[in-house]
Structure 1
Amino acid sequence: MRIGLITTIGTNIGDDFIREGLCLVLSEVFKGQQLKFVMVNKHQPFMVYPRWHPIHWPQMLPRGRNGAKRIIAKLLSGFGLSLFDSCDLIVQCGAPVVWAGCSRCEWAEPLWYQVVGRLSQKGVPVLNLGAGSCYLWEKPPRRVNDERDALYLKKILGYCRITTVRDKVAQRLFESLGQSCPLIPCPALLAGRPFINRPTDEDFVVINYMEKGGHYDWGQNIDPTVWKNTVKVVIERIRKHYQVLFLCHDQKEYRLAFEVNPTIPRVLPKNSQEYFSMLSRVKVGLCNRLHASIALASIGIPSLAVGTDTRLLMVEAVGLPYLYVKEATVERIEEVLQHLLISREKECERLRILREQTWDEYVEVVKKTLCL
């Protein structure tokens, strides 16, 4: 059985956690069958075609002829023969799906409209699992205001036999478009399931640091210096009682961690095996990468997430504390981390139970949708 995966490849390990969690679910649903996962990087949407396909020819045109490239690509897409054409199932692997300007994303036309939409009309089942929102924290919308975004979202929701969401803003916005979607925690919560988190006597607090407290400022006038200084003070207070470890998801974070405090050890795991092995000694975490929080939760480690946009609500969905970066003072962070340390055993058990409930929900929703 061939399963097409719309995913992100080679950006950061958080995307791997989402994909790996869903692959575990699909392997359970189709237990006993030989599965072949066909991964397509949505940021390189023409990857959905084999290298010999004529749709790649327009890429050889000189720069500045994007209009011609789009027209030629649209005509050639009608020939089919994409990697997804031979798939029995297509799965959109959780990610922000709804944001301001989502209709203008690079994969909307070549991947969704020209391939997934066409195959959906032919009867190939499409599942959109773990869809999320990404809007500035200070002013999340009540509905999708951009007509082009609304049209795009209605189309892809129509292609999919089921869409599940990972945060309440995504759920509300899809409801405003007439689509009711179940809210299930992010599939990345399942990524740590194959790994055993042994109780530790070591006193490590892990910190994942991003320059502005998140990926983007979103025009909210976030001062990166204020956040950097806050983290510096938090580290000095924590290390009086616990060892501190920087957890980095990419080379930029690895470099920034050194700038914050060059005396603190840093780790940059290359894969899930390394990631969860390195984290086995951790008690609690403070994370800017929200999938660092979810990954920690997947092996029963509680954390405080600090961010800049509605992706924070993905953390709310697993019952963990979170703060908007402008509200993340030293005192508030210290208070929350202390509470997590005191309640660690109870939180660890709660997260493990939630992970198994989430597992059951995803397995059930896939089986029910596909009438298995």
Structure 2
Amino acid sequence: MTDEAPATPGRIVLLTVSHRVAPGLLSWPAWQTLRAADRVLCADGAHPLLPYLREAGITVESGITVEAGAPAPAALTARDLVDECAGGRTVVVIPSGGGDGEGAGEGALTDGLARLAGSGRVQMPDLELLPGSYDLPGARLLDLVHVMDRIRRECPWSSTQTHKGLAKYGIEEAYELVEAIEDGDGDELREELGDVLLQVVFHARIAQDGLEEEEGREPFSIDDVAATIVEKLIHRHPHVFGDETAETPEDVKAHWLRTKAVEKQRDSVTDGVPLGQPGLALASKLAGRVRTAGLDVGLPSGDGIGYELLAMAVRAEEAGIDPETALRAAARTYRDAIRTAETGGTATE
């Protein structure tokens, strides 16, 4: 009597794909596995990948259930799936919805396979997780755009907002971002950066509707916003994307200023300086423009604290100090002293 060779268990491949990547763009190992598979299963008949697989000549079957006795005429339970792999066969399962393998059906399916493996009574096939497509850096921004589109359409508050109505929130979020930077809290910084990013996407989505009250404003989308800043960054970094060289940060700043001067064609060095910014920042910005242009402009004289603050802001700029940052740091120390006094402690110098 001869011993029979053990049956080859086969292989179950869970093929995950990213919904942030265009359907049909799969890795070469994914295409190889799909073409060589004995069966390809996908419970989602509307999966965006299916037309591309069929065009490539790959037959995809639908109808996966996870519990024995589930009412689906051509369905496979976890045990059925294991049996399908007998004799060395390969079965590929594509998760529903084009996500990252997080579909509820596939989660229950993997749970069922885990129970079978844990029972010790079933010879299990090899189980493999095969990423068919990967997210590139920045891919999650597509999720933000998608969520913003839906909120803009369906939220009673968001659907009525305008650029002017949201302007105050942009200022608030910018200040909160600066505070997070100064606090040195990484988690807070990440959250505040997200809040600032939301303002950008929100305004771009409003602009896409083309319903703003200002006359002559053409609609644009978040892609137009991104394209504009990409073009500007490339143009203003000829030492990175062109033939010029820059060895020091000063060289980079000189490139930047020369390029901006050509782009803007300003009549005055004060053009483009927003007068609505905080006073110390405004004074420092004007002083920086004067110094960079090599102009000899004396400070205006007059009575009052405003002229004293102006002179202090100019001196700070000349010393390479941001007066707004310096004042905020001093104010925070003052705040701590106030809190100490409120609790009956002794303020420290």
Q: Is the TM-score greater than 0.5? A: no
Structure with the largest fraction of helix: 2
Structure having greater relative contact order (Cα 8 Å, sep ≥ 6): 1
Structure with the largest fraction of strand: 1
TM-score for both structures, normalised by structure 1: 0.22
TM-score for both structures, normalised by structure 2: 0.23
